[in-house]
Each structure stands twice: as C-alpha cells, then as structure tokens.
Chain A
Amino acid sequence: MYKLLKQIVRTGIVTEAPPEPDAALRAVSQRLKAHMLATLGRALTIRHVDAGSCNGCELEIHALNNPYYSLEALGIRFVASPRHADLLLVTGPVSRHMETALVRTYDATPGPKLVVAVGDCGCTGGIFGESYASAGRVSNVIPVDVEVPGCPPTPTALMQGILTALSVGAKATSARRPR
C-alpha cells in the first residue's frame, strides 16, 4: 500500500485543459435546443460503436480516459449500452456486416441523441471507400451531427468533436472543469 500511495503522490495531477468547440466540424446545424444541450452537457453519456474500423481510432478513444485528457472529469463518460447513451461515437467505415447492428444501436438510443462520426473512414469511407464489403461513411447509414477527421484523430480532436456536438453555436457553451 505504501508503494501505491507513493506512486499516486509522486505522479500528481497531470490533467490538461480541454479544447474549445469548433463549429467547422459540424455536418449539420445543431438540431438540439439549448436547454437540452445544457442538460446533456453536464452529464453526457457516450456509447462507442466500432462499425468496422481498423482499431486505430479505438486506441485514441481509449486515450480520452487517460489522466492527461480525463474526459470523465468533464462529466462525460462511456456507457455499456446504447439505452444509457446520449451520444453515439461511431468509427468506420461501416462494414456491410455491421450496418444492421449500427442501425439497431442507433434505434436503441433514446432521443434526444447526438452522433459523432470519427476518423477519415467514418467521415468519408477513407481508404476503404464503398465496396461489396463496406458501406463507406457513417452518414450513409445513420444521421451524423459532427464529423471528426484524422487517421486516427488525436484525443484532443476527439474531445473537441464531442464538445462541439454539445455546443449551441461556435463557442457558446464551452465545457468547464468543476473546481
């Protein structure tokens, strides 16, 4: 126990400030009303769906929970079921074999809901494009609010995408860490 406590104290708090929302990431104009966003913004829950990615994006989504980014400290956390989720974080391309599962997950998510498409493949189909095996970009299958490009996007870019989905305008409701 002594070693453990010593390591915690020695490490200290390494968490950094979150990025500001960026309206340029929007695929469509904000569909949710400000009061809904205000409620979601204080305790947003995310269901991640890998709809066929190479797992590169997943590695960076994992990183959101490391102590540097500490997404959970903003009140935003990942949940185990779409039934508990406010936002779907979808990586792609959407493989034909995942198309039905993705639609069902979207349908199972209660409204009001947000969708963030992640990565070049999620935004455009990327190198995999559309083929016998790939349905391409996420918005080919379900409605998308915000797109975060990158191969894979950095954790900061992902955070910015999530915060953008939650903002009314360009920089109207930036997230603040609780003091």
Chain B
Amino acid sequence: MEIAGLTLAEVPGAVPAWRGTLAPTALVSTCVAMRERGGRLAALWGADDRDRAAGLTLHALFIVERALLWLNVPLPAADPTVADLSAIFPCADRMQRAVFDLTGIRHDGGDQRPWLRHAAWPADAFPLRHAGLAGLTPRNGIDDYPFVHVAGDGVHEIAVGPVHAGIIEPGHFRFSVVGEKVLRLEERLGYTHKGVDRLFRGMDFKDGSRLAGRISGDSTVAYAWAYAMAAESLGGYELQPRPLVLRALLLERERIANHLGDLGYLGNDGGFAFGLAQFSRLREDVLRLNQRCFGHRLLMDLIVPGGVARDLAPEMVRPLLDQCDALEREVQVLRAIYDDHAGLQDRFLTCGFLTPQLASRLGVIGLAGRASDQPCDARVAPSHEPYDRLEVRIATRRQGDVAARVAVRFDEIFESLRLVRTLVEDLPRGPSHITLPWPNGEQVGLGWVEGWRGETLVAIEARDGVIRRCHAHDPSWQNWPALEHAIMGNIVPDFPLINKSFNLSYSGQDL
C-alpha cells in the first residue's frame, strides 16, 4: 500500500495490514485522503509510551482498499492534543471521548463530554497512564451528565436505565418525545466499564486469551480468534489448515446461535411469542451440541494462540452435519411463518429505518450495515484463511428497516450452515494446536475477524513475551450512534424492537 508522504511497513499475519507513523499535523489531511479513497475508520485508541522514552501515542486504524492501515501518531506527554476527526468520520466522536477518558489524549473540537468515565475516577486522572490512578481510592456514586435538552411545546423526556426492564445489559437511554413519537434519543453508555485495557497490561498471552474471550460474551469466539490472530502475528507465525478450519467452524456456529436467539426475540418483541419458543429451542439445540463437541455451550476458551484448545472428535462430524440439515429444515418453516404473518410484518416493515446514505456516512458496519446496503464483511475483505477460499456470499438488503435486519439474519443462517457443512466435510488432517515460542524484544500484531455482529479487532503491542498494550474494538462502537438515528420519528413502544434488531454490545464497547 502507498500513501503519499508516509513510510509504511507490512504487519505480518493473517490479514493484509500496513503500519506507519504519522505526524500530528498530517492527521486531518490523511483522514480526508482516506475518506476520498473510500476508506473507513475502524478504531481509535491511545497508549502511554513513556516507558520507552516516548510520549503518548494515538492509534488510528483504517480499512482502505482491502487492507488494514494502522497509523501511530506520536504526541508530547505535556500537551497531547490532536485535531478533531469527528467531522470527517462521525464514528470517531465517542472513540475520541473514550481515548481522552482513559489516556488524556485530547481532541481539539467536537463533543468534549466524558464517555466511558462516570464517577469512578476524576477527570484529571487517566487509568491507562503508567502513573495511572496511583494514590486515588476507587469511587462510586453518580455524576451529573449533561444530556442534550430538547425544548418545545409538549416535549417531555423519558429516562430509561441503566437497569433495564428486560434481561439485558445496563445503559441509559434518554428519549425526548412528543406524545408517543420519539424526537430524539440520546444514549449514555460506559456502565459496564471493567478496565479491560488496563487488565491486559503485563498479562502473558495465555491469560490475555481468556480475557479477550470475556469482552463480550456473545462474541467470545470472534474475540478469541481476533486475539489469537494478533498474538500469532506478533511472531509472524502461520497456522496449519486444521486449526483455522476449526476456528471458522466455531465462529459460524456462534453466528448461527446468536442469529437464532435474535430472531426469536424479534418475534417476541413483535408480539409473537411462538417465535421465541421455537427459535430459543433451536438455539438450545445448537448450544447443547457445542457442549458435546467442544465442552462449552458458548464455545469459550477454545481458540487460543497456536490453534484450538480442543480438537473435534471424528465421531462428532455426523451430529454436526445432521444438525445442519435439521436447522435448515426448521428455519425454512419458521421463515415462511414469519413472512406470512401479517401482524409481525406490520411491526417489522418500515420500522427503525436507516438509509444506505446515512449508514455510509456514519460508517455503520456488520449485520446492521449490511441491512442498509453496506457490503462490508471481514470474511470477504480484507479476508483471511480459511474464508478466502470459501467464497462467502454477503447478505445485503437496501431497505434498512427491522424487516431488513431480520432478513439478513435469515440469509446469514443459511449461508453459515453451508459454510459449516463445507468446513466439516473437508476437515484437513494435522495437529489442532502447536506451541509457539514467544519472541523477545518488541512486536506488534493485528487480528481482524467478522463476528456475528460485525468486524472485531484486536491490536497487541508486546514486549519480551508479555502484553504491553492490547486494545479490542467492538463493532458496536460504529453502530450505537446509528440506533439514535433509526429510532427518530418512530413511537416509543417500537424502541425495544428496533434496539433488538441492532442488538449491540454494551460490554464490548464499555470495555
């Protein structure tokens, strides 16, 4: 890859990736150039590099022309300030605020309110700095977050959360409504902030793998794979085909299980309890077979650097294939029932509308992006083994409503079933795991995987066999702001349905 004025080095590993250092003054012009080349901002994070005689560093990761571009922007520790990027990439807004909360790197412009920080630590202390929060006692309590106030005749506010009515994660939604119609929704997240980035520091690669698998439990396979890919990329290791095929098998089964669960809840939120009963039964069948084949219902801790922790026994191939047939049959029946159900379709169609233009502008990715005609899928581009030879068919829709997000889920279940069959029928021989020697010195690595929700990224900087800095990025960062747009003009009772159709992670973005 070539970018004018930049020296780029290839990052070894499974995905095509390049890395370079960028002067802070060139950040805006580079971002504009990226945008013009059709690039997207994938992630933004900060690091304290004073332990190696540098200042602070802003890391920006872009997807441009079927490759990842990782730019490091060195900043002086005394005044770590860079330009605001949210005018070029709107999804940068919350990431910039999180970068400030954790590292003190300030963006000059844009929204200056805290994002991940509530009351647990003061505004002038930064958990990811090496001095960190030394001398401070942890605090609880609540802060006074300045929500945007909507004024006008008959406008009132509905405050929801952080403890929600259903069995879901905590977050706060502030609706400004007139009658039943939503004028504006403002999200406030950060309630499940657990200090993940700080915990990674100093961990060895094995412990890091367990933590990565617990950033967002519903995407444990995606995170564990992205993490393992990044760890393997540190040493430039390439795996044999068998563990890679097994990883893809695990990832597709995670996708199937989550889509089945979502389709059930989408039916339920549309007032169709039959759908929940049926789909949750199918989901349970998948989880039970996971337990039999791999020893864990949600497939946690199976993907580790060097391969997979548990090989698939030959006698389990038949049950896996049989389940594909059973699911295909049942989901087809249920899809026909959903499609024919006038009451359900009435709730789904034109509800929670996100236009392709807006989705593109906001940088919406993953499943929600594909339902608004954004054909991005990390199994396709930038791709990696074994997906690069599987010819994954991207499921897209143009309508951008709840119905489109339902349809994409149905399509993806069938495609994942096809992939599972292909993978299992042609399982390469060989060891499922190899022990990797961890090199001394400093290395960087990147992992990039299409989880069921979207692109999942893990970046590692290592030194002498332990993690110096590890950052994991959830696709929910890009998609949460889109939910604020999708609800506008809809009625409050449709919010649970619209929210479920996106089904974003709180824990994954709160870190």
What residues of A have a CB within 8 angstroms of the CB of B435 in the complex? Answer: none
Interface centre among A58, A59, A126, A134 (most CB of B within 10 A): A59
What residues of A have a CB within 8 angstroms of the CB of B346 in the complex? Answer: none
> Complex Cα distance A152/B191, Å?
20
| CB-CB under 8 A for A54 and B280, given A59-B218, A132-B127, A133-B195 | no
Interface centre among B170, B210, B506 (most CB of A within 10 A): B170
On whether the beta carbons of A97 and B190 are closer than 8 Å, the reply is yes
Query: A51, A54, A93, A97: which contacts B217 (Cβ < 8 A)?
Result: A54
Query: B210, B287, B336, B505: which contacts A55 (Cβ < 8 A)?
Result: B505
| Distance of B274 from chain A, by nearest CB (Å) | 6
What residues of A have a CB within 8 angstroms of the CB of B169 in the complex? Answer: 50, 53, 55, 58
On whether the beta carbons of A152 and B280 are closer than 8 Å, the reply is no
What residues of A have a CB within 8 angstroms of the CB of B166 in the complex? Answer: 80
What residues of A have a CB within 8 angstroms of the CB of B216 in the complex? Answer: 54-55
What residues of A have a CB within 8 angstroms of the CB of B505 in the complex? Answer: 55
Q: What is the interface of chain A mostly: helix, strand, loop, or mixed? A: mixed
On whether the beta carbons of A4 and B192 are closer than 8 Å, the reply is no
Nearest residue in B to A132 (C-beta to C-beta)?
B133
| CB-CB under 8 A for A53 and B167, given A4-B337, A14-B281, A65-B280 | no
Query: B193, B198, B210, B340: which contacts A95 (Cβ < 8 A)?
Result: B193
> Complex Cα distance A14/B277, Å?
11
What residues of B have a CB within 8 angstroms of the CB of A59 in the complex? Answer: 217-218, 261, 298
Instruction: Decide if B278 is an interface residue (CB 8 Å cutoff).
Output: yes
Instruction: Decide if B173 is an interface residue (CB 8 Å cutoff).
Output: no
Instruction: Decide if B1 is an interface residue (CB 8 Å cutoff).
Output: no
Query: B119, B170, B198, B218: which contacts A50 (Cβ < 8 A)?
Result: B170
Nearest residue in B to A120 (C-beta to C-beta)?
B214
> Complex Cα distance A122/B118, Å?
22
Query: B163, B192, B261, B340: which contacts A97 (Cβ < 8 A)?
Result: B192
On whether the beta carbons of A132 and B195 are closer than 8 Å, the reply is yes
Nearest residue in A to B125 (C-beta to C-beta)?
A132
On whether the beta carbons of B280 and A134 are closer than 8 Å, the reply is no
Instruction: Decide if B53 is an interface residue (CB 8 Å cutoff).
Output: no
| CB-CB under 8 A for A58 and B190, given A66-B281, A81-B165, A97-B118 | no
What residues of A have a CB within 8 angstroms of the CB of B385 in the complex? Answer: none
Interface centre among B277, B340, B506 (most CB of A within 10 A): B277
On whether the beta carbons of B278 and A78 are closer than 8 Å, the reply is no
Interface centre among A52, A54, A67, A93 (most CB of B within 10 A): A54
On whether the beta carbons of B194 and A55 are closer than 8 Å, the reply is no
On whether the beta carbons of B218 and A55 are closer than 8 Å, the reply is yes
On whether the beta carbons of B198 and A52 are closer than 8 Å, the reply is no
Instruction: Decide if B57 is an interface residue (CB 8 Å cutoff).
Output: no
> Complex Cα distance A53/B337, Å?
35
On whether the beta carbons of A151 and B300 are closer than 8 Å, the reply is yes
Contact mask A22-56 → B, CB, 8 Å, 1/0? 00000000000000000000000000111111111
> Complex Cα distance A51/B261, Å?
22
5 further interface pairs, Cβ-Cβ under 8 Å (given A67-B281, A68-B281, A97-B192)? A56-B220, A67-B284, A96-B139, A97-B118, A100-B141
- Those 4 A-B pairs whose CB atoms lie nearest each other, nearest first: A56-B217, A133-B195, A96-B120, A66-B280
Pick 21 A–B contacts, CB within 8 A, sort by A.
Answer: A3-B340, A14-B281, A54-B214, A55-B169, A55-B218, A56-B220, A58-B167, A59-B217, A63-B284, A63-B287, A78-B167, A96-B120, A96-B140, A97-B118, A97-B192, A127-B210, A127-B211, A132-B120, A132-B121, A152-B298, A154-B297
